[in-house]
Amino acid sequence: MTAYTATVTVRLKHGVLDPEAETTKRALERLDFDLEALRSADRFEIDLEAADAEAAASRADEMAERLLANPTIHDYEVTVEER
């Protein structure tokens, strides 16, 4: 078994209301930052052991599907690095 860190980034899908991002966007614009759009995201770093990177990614993907993300309103991305 090899030690890996899987990173799961969860974002609201385009078109889903993101009040946190809207509030932050307005605050940035008041500070004279010019931006077209802003989206918020949650990032989870998971340390785990697996036979290979593909197995680690598969386990992290299952975690995202079952708990970390709601597939109805969220998109998510999984990346894996060896520790």
Query: Residue 9 belongs to what domain range?
Result: 2-82
- Look at residue 36 in the predicted model and tell me its pLDDT: 95
pLDDT class of 56 with cuts at 50, 70, 90: very high
Entry pTM:
0.89
Torsion, Cα of 43, 49, 53, 55 (10° steps): -100
Burial annotation 17-35 (CB, 10 A radius, 16+ → b, else e): ebeebeeebeeeeeeeeee
- Look at residue 64 in the predicted model and tell me its pLDDT: 98
* CATH number of the domain enclosing 24: 3.30.1280.10
- Look at residue 12 in the predicted model and tell me its pLDDT: 97
How confident is the model over 13-47, as pLDDT tens digits? Answer: 999 999 999 999 999 999 999 999 999 999 999 99
The number of folded domains in the chain is 1
pLDDT class of 69 with cuts at 50, 70, 90: very high
